[in-house]
Amino acid sequence: MITKRVAEVNARRHLLRYHRSPDPMRRGRRDRLVAVGLSAVLAGLTAACGSAPDTPVPAASAIASSPSPPPGPPNIILILADDLGYGDLGSYGAPLIRTPNLDRLAAEGVRMTDFRVPSALCTPSRGALLTGLYPPRTGLVGNLPSGSPTEGISDGIDDDEITVAQALEDRGYGTAMVGKWHLGSTLAHLPTFHGFASYFGISNGDQTFLLLRGTTPVKDPPGLDQITKAYTREAVTIIRDADHDRPFFLYLAHRSPHVPLEPSPEFLGRSAGGLYGDVVEELDWSVGEVMKAVRDRGSSERSTLVLFMSDNGPWLSQGEGAGSPGPFRSGKNSPYEGGVRVPAIAWWPGRYPAGRTLGEPVMSLDVFPTLVAMAGGRLSPTLTYYGADLTPLLSGQVSRLPGAGTDGSRELLGYYFGDAVSLRSGRWKFLRPGYWDLVDTLYDLEADPAERTDLYPTRADVAVPLSARLAVLADEIAFNGKKPKKGGGPD
Ligand code: MG
């Protein structure tokens, strides 16, 4: 719960930690979270305008007709699903699973159809989301092992990383996290040491005896079938009780619909989509409860931005326990689109046009600069962020983001355990060899989103330069990268 008392305790903890830190860079980095303004980026994006991707940007009159939100930085709620596939929501084409609350979120907000994660696994995806950095820069390249804070599992997110929670906290936000962390289980790696004033959750997902409040194990924790409800109650309480005199950031990282599938009795057997559908429908219920709490706060003093997304595609080897990648190829742990392209919705009434479908390629690395800019912060000049502030795109001011890629598009990398294996550039996706294929391949995602036809043999004129460019970017990102953290399991 975000209260002034907790915030004060957290502030003291931070002061203590900085005082103790032997690494002056640690203290310096936070101080240096102040130099490169995003105004130049914003100006560049505003100047760039191309053809509309999926649906046209609503006319200015349509945008203007929405009520203007109150000024000042908004509350921010980031909801992350675990292993939810692109095709698992009604608004993304699921034929059997009912998701009315998420569909409403999409109808009132922006539904993104080319939202990408840089790695199709939990830990590297979450590390990138929260730090805004590609996996080699943090060393969070594979899944960290499960364990309790006292089991001596030593690896996790480094103390010198700047999470989005820390960046927002520096801008005066109250911060809280609920749910699955998966960035380290020892004390120093837990969320309360990385910018979150409060934490309630199971660090690595599903071992309920490891349920923590802050850093303390919860006595008599609920069964796994009650975890979604417990997380939801906690999130609703945080939203309801959050201070009104400053904005809050809530990161709600559900463990569902990751296996094991254990819906609460009220949802068991309810979905036409089977047991997996039951779990997704309970997740949708949770989103509905969160949105009720948001609406109950009223809109007089401060607006709220809600972002919903998945960490990676469906875990197809789980058979009926897995979701659907929709029209895309493969799933979790794969560099194909089914692994890295996930459902993502941005909801901010009055700022983002309602009912818009956005096909421009964006990625989870964009979340960090977007939220920092929204809070009036600046990115550290000592770190290279490859993400962009999405505000002009989501608000409808522009329909494309400029970059150095094909036809002036952005270049978006995909990683597999620390190795850069794919480069998205305009309509093209170049893919290096791996367990998925023994040779370099090239796909035209506009003509062939399912990645069925390898065009490398006939379009070497495109593929060879992309291969060279991928190597340059990979070296650039790996330069001064961190040693990979121990781990590497598939879940
Ligand atoms: Mg996952």
- Residue 11 is predicted with a pLDDT of 37
Ligand 1 mean position, distance from CA 333 (Å): 9
Q: Which residue has the higher pLDDT, 45 or 223?
A: 223
Task: Check residue 32 and give its pLDDT.
Answer: 30
CA of 123 to the centre of ligand 1 (A): 8
Tens digit of pLDDT for each residue in 368-403?
Answer: 999 999 999 999 999 999 999 999 999 999 999 999
| Rounded distance from Cα 365 to ligand 1 centre (Å) | 16
The reply to whether omega before 69 is within 30° of 0 (cis) is no
* The two structure tokens encoding residue 232: 């939801």
User: Distance from the CA of 297 to the center of ligand 1, in angstroms?
Assistant: 31
- Each residue's pLDDT tens digit, 398-436: 999 999 999 999 999 999 999 999 999 999 999 999 999
**What is residue 486's predicted lDDT score, i.e. its pLDDT?**
79
485: which 2 tokens?
A: 């953290």
pLDDT of residue 6: 39
Confidence of residue 207 (pLDDT cuts 50, 70, 90): confident
pLDDT, tens digit, for every residue of 115-126?
A: 999 999 999 999
- Which of 60-69, 136-145, 341-350, 475-484 is least confident? 60-69
Q: Is residue 50 scored above 70 in pLDDT?
A: no
The mean per-residue pLDDT over the stretch 297-319 comes to 91
Output the CA 78–ligand 1 centroid distance in Å: 15
The string of DSSP letters for 260-328 reads S----TTTTT--TTHHHHHHHHHHHHHHHHHHHHHHHT-SSS--EEEEEEESS---GGGGGGS---TTS
Q: What is the Cα–Cα distance from 442 to 473, expressed in whole angstroms?
A: 18
Are 118 and 111 a contacting pair, CB within 8 Å? no
**Over the stretch 253-270, which tens digit does the pLDDT of each residue have?**
999 999 999 999 999 999
CA of 182 to the centre of ligand 1 (A): 10
The class level of CATH for 406-479 reads alpha beta
Highest mean pLDDT (candidates 30-44, 136-150, 225-239): 225-239
pLDDT of residue 38: 30
Lowest mean pLDDT among 64-73, 170-179, 241-250, 362-371: 64-73
Provide mean pLDDT across the span 147-167.
Answer: 83
Residue 34 has pLDDT above 80, yes or no: no
pLDDT tops 60 at residue 36: no
Beta strands 199-202 and 211-213, pairing class:
antiparallel
Going from the Cα of 257 to the center of ligand 1, the distance in angstroms, rounded, reads 9
Mean pLDDT of 77-90: 98
**Known catalytic residues?**
122, 182
What is the pLDDT averaged over residues 309-315?
A: 98
Residue-level pLDDT at 358: 97
Question: Mean pLDDT score of the chain, rounded to an integer?
Answer: 86
Q: Is the pLDDT of residue 9 over 50?
A: no
64-69 LR contacts (CB < 8 Å, sep 24+): 66/349, 66/350, 66/351, 66/353, 66/354, 67/299, 67/349, 67/350, 68/350, 69/299, 69/303, 69/348, 69/349, 69/350, 69/351
Q: In the predicted model, is pLDDT for residue 39 greater than 70?
A: no
Residue 13 has pLDDT above 90, yes or no: no
What is the 394 CA–ligand 1 centroid distance (Å)? Answer: 25
Distance between Cα 258 and ligand 1 center (Å):
7
| Strand pairing report for 304-310 and 341-347 | antiparallel
Amino acid letter, 356: R
> Would you list the domain boundaries of the chain?
75-394, 406-479
d(CA 477, CA 391): 25
Q: What class has domain 75-394?
A: alpha beta
Nearest to 387 by CA among 36, 32, 28, 29: 36
Say what the pLDDT of residue 147 is: 65
Q: Is the pLDDT of residue 129 over 80?
A: yes
177 C-alpha to center of ligand 1: Å? Answer: 17
Predicted local distance difference test score (pLDDT) of residue 145: 79
Q: Is 397 left (phi over 0), alpha (psi -120 to 50) or beta?
A: alpha
**Of 193 and 487, more confident:** 193
Res 70: pLDDT: 62
Crossing angle for the helix pair 4-20 and 24-31, to the nearest 10 degrees: 130
Over the stretch 91-122, which tens digit does the pLDDT of each residue have?
999 999 999 999 999 999 999 999 999 999 99
